[in-house]
Structure 1
Amino acid sequence: TGGVYQLRQGQQRRIVCKVKPVPNSGTLPIICQSISSVSIGSVTVRVKLQRQLDSYSEEDLTVLKQKWSKALQRRRTYLHQQLQKVMIKSGVDQSSLEQEREQSLVEQLVSLTEEQNAVQLPPPGSNIPGAPADWTPPIGKEAHIPVIFLNLNGDDFSSQVSGEFISLAGTNAIIPKEMSNKFFNLPIVEHYDDEVCAVASWDSSIHNNPLLNRQTSADERVYLIVKSVVRLSHPVMLDIVLRKRICVNIYKKQSLTSKFVRSFIGTSNTYYDTAVIYEIVSNIPKASEELEERESLAQMAANDQEANT
């Protein structure tokens, strides 16, 4: 999760939620307008020997891959049909234009197979959604990058949902061990003017959970999920649900040893926030939805024009 928050037992706290786009990270700029709500919940515990939890989810990534794969399969079916038509006149009966056409279709099928493989198993560092993490994250940031699929129209980036209501993306991108009925909306006490940031008040007693009301054992890790609803103003006006799992350690009082160590090393090595980077995908590539490459279609049109003249 990027780190473990040290929380003193019985104190009320404030949660600071901040959202900012990663500069130079994509071809479509994202503009975040405001954070409209903050909620927290889904308390769970893991022992140190168990696999630890983070904020990664594959729900939206699965939807994206399914839609992308269907578009590529439509293209494959079309290319096979076109290739069958050309191959009927194979050998000496083929004109030079038909031979060029056959070669073009075969090359497109080879390229299509490579694209289909990359969609299902993207290589590390390929910038394809779902590619395995191939970086060393800075302190406080999670290593894995979840995907939120907006499913916008590829022509004008409009929402697929019709009507006057603003659509909500990321609702179904639940993360492991998330229990949707165990969240509490928190009162937002402050908004920052110079950045997209909201401060919410949190009293851990609202959960009525013993994991938050007692000292955490040395072999335990207590997790919660913070959910924020963020309003986007570009590429389209919509709300998006972002999740961040946090790990906390509840303590009663600092021991004399802890106080001595803190006074000795100072606070320069103390960090106060954790973060997760989301990859926001607006739509599948428009070229993947086309049945044939534009260059091939343009060449066919040029050949037809030459034949007519």
Structure 2
Amino acid sequence: MSKILVTGGTGYIGSHTVVELQNAGYEVVIVDNLDNSSIEILDQITKITGKKPQFYNLDLCDEAKVVELIENNPDITGVIHFAAHKAVGESVAKPLKYYRNNFFSLINLLTAYTGKDVNFVFSSSCTVYGQPDKLPVTEEAPVKKAESPYGNTKQIAEEILAEAASVNPNYHIISLRYFNPVGAHDSALIGELPIGVPQNLVPFITQSAIGKRGPITVFGSDYNTPDGSCIRDYIHVVDLAKAHIAALKRQEENKMSGNFEIFNVGTGKGSSVLEVIKAFEESTGVKLDYKIGPRRPGDVEQVWGDVSKAETELNWKAELGLEDMMRSAWAWEQYIKDHPFS
């Protein structure tokens, strides 16, 4: 099988994708500077798959080291690019940090592959849509002005990729626009490891449930939704990881309609914050302490994706439901309570 480079491969989505790649028979090379992850995740991946991936502790913003890495691994046929800073709030406070890291790393990778044949899968985001005019949102929906420097990096990165692919026939690029990944591997050996106070709903729920945090605040109960709370399209991280395998196979089988394609990756169903809380309580039997607070600036009211293109052209479909997501996230939280990561 092919050798695949996974940047940010010890991170949350990256580690789950590495597991699915190895389970599918791929050889994996991970590059990560461990800025937002733990080296111990390598051992966790090995426990799940029985095979330890090759690992480079490397900053992709160092162009010379990226070139050296690619030259030393000429048999790499595909790249899955996760490595990026991703905290919306921090990006507002430190925009240059985000532009430098997220653009330099991408450009250095593309430059290293100039003139070389490569399948490239990019980790994008539904944040490019903002608050869509129509729901469910399709890939043809207009990209709106970003709400944060983080969101802007995803928009501009897609422009860079499209333009690079248009002049370089050796690039075969698929951008996956994720909705809201949650949950953990069913082994409970890998999952989301937020640094500091979680900015996302589900890790805050699990940390609150286990006693690390206080009550959960539901930001707003007066939105134009059935129960008044925000709606998002939550997808199990294992389903999301499998979408990357489907994208690689599409590239390997020469089924792309051009050099650059975009796919929504979600469940196609929206769930409100209050529905997520209820699903957690019902799937785990753990009662949550939550309160209603004011709306949070910058929050989109509701968004979920039309994923029919991915289902048809990638031959991929999300299989795990909201209760699976909550149950696995809770199992992971319990695991890391007894097995803390450095």
Normalised-by-shorter TM-score class: under 0.3
Structure with more helix by fraction:
2
TM-score (normalised: structure 2):
0.20
User: Larger relative contact order (C-alpha < 8 A, sep ≥ 6)?
Assistant: 1
TM-score (normalised: structure 1):
0.22
Computing the radius of gyration from Cα coordinates, the structure with the larger value is: 1
